Amino acid sequence: MTQLRFLAAVLVLALTFVAPARGAACSAEPPKQSEYLQAIQLGFETTQYLEKAYQEQGDMVVLIARIGSLASSKRFQRQLSPYWQYTHAGLVFRDHPSGQWSVVHLLNTCGGQSAIFEQGLMRFSLDKPDVYVNAIVHLKPQLQGALAAVVIKQNLAQAMFQGSQYSSISYPYSLDYQNSNEYILMLLAAAMAPESNQPNNRQQSMGYFLNSKLKAAFQPELVKVGVFESLGSSLGLGPSNATLKDHTRQERRNGKMEFVSVGSLVHWLTQLGQVTHHREIHLNRKN
């Protein structure tokens, strides 16, 4: 990475930056200068890695993940895949209309609200993660092509969202709520469906997922919820971006809720034979 190119990246981001939405906060504090620089560097290094992978292997679509909070992952019971501590996933497209190597993902904007974002890799890294590291999961070429068709050619990114209410621990098999990783699950399910049965919205994608081999290969993460947290949620006193309303009674009695995590996504894709290899891009570490 040359100093000139890095400084140019800093200037571009500084001129175009809008504070990203994160978590349940409706007004996020602007990043500090050190956070800007770390995010820009991580985004730049990730871009370099992906461009090299494209030149050498032809990979044009990958799964990306970041660690938003190490504290939340400590509650994960199954710890699926090597990336169980990662909390937020997106899909990166080299030839996206919004720009080269754009990340398509769902973000919690405020309370129970969310929206679909198309962002560059530097913006993706600017959401104040606990650790400045990105996980890259390389997918089989056929799945890459299908994802590009679903998101770019057919423009179904919004259709797999449908303005759903957000819950960070949404139940994987329900349409009532949706979290960021479940959104990626629905895009992947739509891409893996046969052309003769191509889902055009979230409801159809969920239907295909539930009634195909995809569900049998999927194992959700389990998150532990305390008695008082469960009681608070039932009384509407819990965090505004998490609810237990869509979970089963048995889950609430046991205090363990199933949900879609980054780890469960990677484990699922691996079980289906859709992963070729994976890599972590660490800031300030030789990759």
The whole-number pLDDT of residue 75 equals 78
Calpha distance 66→53 (Å, rounded): 19
Cα distances from 57 to residues 53, 141, 196, in angstroms, run: 5, 10, 29
Q: Residue 99's closest CA among 153, 143, 141, 152?
A: 152
DSSP assignment string, 81-114: STTTT--EEEEEEEEETTEEEEEEEEEEEETTEE
Q: SS3 of 272, please?
A: coil
- The 10s digit of each residue's pLDDT in 247-282 is 999 998 888 999 999 999 999 999 999 999 999 999
Residue 76 DSSP code:
B
The whole-number pLDDT of residue 253 equals 86
43-63: burial string, b at 16+ Cβ within 10 Å, e else:
bbbbbebbeebbeeeebbbbb
The whole-number pLDDT of residue 27 equals 65
Domain ranges across the chain: 33-282
Amino acid letter at 190? A
pLDDT digit of tens for each residue in the chain (287 aa)?
455 454 444 434 333 333 333 444 576 678 788 888 999 999 999 999 999 999 999 999 999 999 987 666 677 889 999 999 999 999 999 999 999 999 999 999 988 899 999 999 999 988 777 889 999 999 999 999 999 999 999 999 999 997 779 999 999 999 999 999 999 999 999 999 998 999 999 999 999 999 999 999 999 999 888 643 443 344 343 567 888 889 999 998 888 999 999 999 999 999 999 999 999 999 865 55
The whole-number pLDDT of residue 73 equals 65
Calpha distance 227→235 (Å, rounded): 12
The whole-number pLDDT of residue 11 equals 38
Calpha distance 281→60 (Å, rounded): 17
Sign of the C-alpha dihedral computed for residues 63, 66, 67 and 69 taken in this order: negative
The whole-number pLDDT of residue 130 equals 80
Calpha distance 142→185 (Å, rounded): 17
Triad 204, 95, 121: Cα angle to 5°:
90
The whole-number pLDDT of residue 287 equals 52
Which stretches of the chain are assigned E, i.e. beta strand? 61-67, 88-96, 99-110, 113-120, 131-139, 165-166, 177-178, 221-224, 256-259, 275-282
The whole-number pLDDT of residue 72 equals 66
* Token pair in block for residue 118: 């198309």
The whole-number pLDDT of residue 152 equals 98
The whole-number pLDDT of residue 241 equals 83
pTM: 0.87
Cα distances from 166 to residues 111, 125, 130, 187, 190, in angstroms, run: 8, 21, 22, 17, 20
